[in-house]
Amino acid sequence: MWDTFIINPMTNGLLVLYDLLANNFVIAIAVFTLLIRLLTLPLNLRQQRSAMRMQEMQPEIQRIQKKYRDNPQKMQEEFQKLGYNPAESLLGCLPLLIQFPILIGLYRAILLVMGSTPQALLELTQRVYPGIDLTSLLPVDNRFLWLNLAQPDTFFVLPVLVFATTFFSQKLMTAKRNQPDKTPEQKQKERQENPMAGMTESMTYTMPLMFGVMSLQFPAGLSIYFVLSNLVGVGQSLLLRRSMPQPGATPTRRAIAEEEAVETEAEPVSEPPAKATGSSAKRNLPAGSKSKRKTQYKRRKR
C-alpha cells in the first residue's frame, strides 16, 4: 500500500518532471515541491487560519481557564460558547504530520530515481509506470553546483538553510500579529498559565533544530525540497496574514453577545454616530462599541 500510493507515484512524478524539465533534477524537485504544496494547500490554509484564530482567542481562553479551574464542566461549556475546541489545537499538527509520509516517500523516491546503487536502480525499473522510457532518462544527472544530490551536503550549507527556513516558517506561523515582543518574564508567565502556548513556542525552536540536524544525513535533493517547501510556506503565511482581518476586527461569539448585552444597558451615546466602517458596519454597531469591547476585556482582567 505504502509503495503503491506514496513511493511509486512520487518516483514516477519525479521522472516525468525530470523528462519535461530538460533533465534537470533540481528543477524537477522544485516543481515537485510546488505541486505538493498546491495539493496540501487547503489543509495548510485551514491550519494556519485556525492557528491565527486560536491566537486571537488566547486572552479569552486563559481567562476561562483561570476562572473555572476547579469546574471543568463549566470550563467546557464556556469554551463551547466561545467557539473554542481544544482538539482543534491538536489538529493544528495535521499538516506537519502529513509532511512526514511525504518526506519519507520523497526520501525513497529521490534515492530510487538517483539510482545510486545497482539495487536501487533495479528496484526503480520495477516501479516505473508503462509509458515512461527509463532508458532514455538514464543516467539521472546527480550533480548540482558542489552537490551530489543523492548524498548529504558535505559543506553544511543545506542543513543551515533547512534550519533557517524551518525556523522562519515556524516563527511566522506562531507569531502574533501586531503585538509587541514580550519580555522574558511575560513569556514565562504566559507559559505557566497556558502550557499549550509554551509547547508551541518550544516547537518553534525544536522543529527547525530537528530538521536541520536530520539534514546532515539527508540526501541533498531532499534538503533542497525542504528549503523550497519552507520558502513557499513562508510566502503562503505572509499572504494569509495580509488577507486575514486584523485582530479585534472579528470578535468572538461571546464578545459579540456581551457587547449586545452592554449596549442594551448602556447610556445613550453622546457623540453623533460616525460613518460606520469595517466589521462594525456589518453588524450595525455604533461607533465606539469597539472601545466598549476593550472596556469589557479590562473589566474581566480585574
The distance of Cα 259 from the centroid of its chain, to the nearest Å, equals: 33
220-243 helix and 25-39 helix, angle to the nearest 10 degrees? 40
- Identify which of residues 151 and 296 has a Cβ nearer to other proteins in the complex: 151
User: Residues 6 or more apart from 259 whose CB is under 8 A from it?
Assistant: 251, 285, 289, 292, 293, 296
- Identify which of residues 14 and 285 has a Cβ nearer to other proteins in the complex: 14
258-273 burial string, b = 16+ CB within 10 Å, else e? bbeeeeeeeeeeeeee
Residues listed for the chain: 302
Q: Report the nearest approach of other proteins to the CB of residue 153 (Å).
A: 7
Output the CA–CA distances (angstroms, integers) from residue 86 to 18, 74, 173, 176, 210, in the order listed.
Answer: 44, 14, 18, 19, 26
Q: Report the nearest approach of other proteins to the CB of residue 282 (Å).
A: 29
- Identify which of residues 3 and 201 has a Cβ nearer to other proteins in the complex: 3
Q: Report the nearest approach of other proteins to the CB of residue 216 (Å).
A: 5
- Identify which of residues 126 and 277 has a Cβ nearer to other proteins in the complex: 126
Q: Report the nearest approach of other proteins to the CB of residue 293 (Å).
A: 30
The rounded distance, in Å, linking the Cα atoms of 116 and 150 is 7
The rounded distance, in Å, linking the Cα atoms of 272 and 260 is 19
The rounded distance, in Å, linking the Cα atoms of 134 and 119 is 16
- Identify which of residues 32 and 218 has a Cβ nearer to other proteins in the complex: 218
Helix (H/G/I), strand (E/B), else coil: 149:
coil
**Dihedral, CA of residue 103, residue 203, residue 54 and residue 93, to nearest 10:** 30
Q: Report the nearest approach of other proteins to the CB of residue 199 (Å).
A: 17
The residue ranges that bind other proteins (CB under 8 A) are 1-3, 6, 87, 90-91, 94, 97-98, 100-101, 104-105, 108, 116-119, 121-123, 125-127, 135, 138-139, 148, 151-154, 156, 213, 216-217
Q: Report the nearest approach of other proteins to the CB of residue 154 (Å).
A: 4
- Identify which of residues 39 and 90 has a Cβ nearer to other proteins in the complex: 90
The rounded distance, in Å, linking the Cα atoms of 178 and 212 is 29
The pair phi, psi for residue 100, each rounded to 5°, is -65, -50
The rounded distance, in Å, linking the Cα atoms of 96 and 100 is 7
Q: Report the nearest approach of other proteins to the CB of residue 5 (Å).
A: 10
- Identify which of residues 60 and 153 has a Cβ nearer to other proteins in the complex: 153
Q: Report the nearest approach of other proteins to the CB of residue 46 (Å).
A: 13
What are 247's three cell numbers? 485582530
- Identify which of residues 105 and 233 has a Cβ nearer to other proteins in the complex: 105
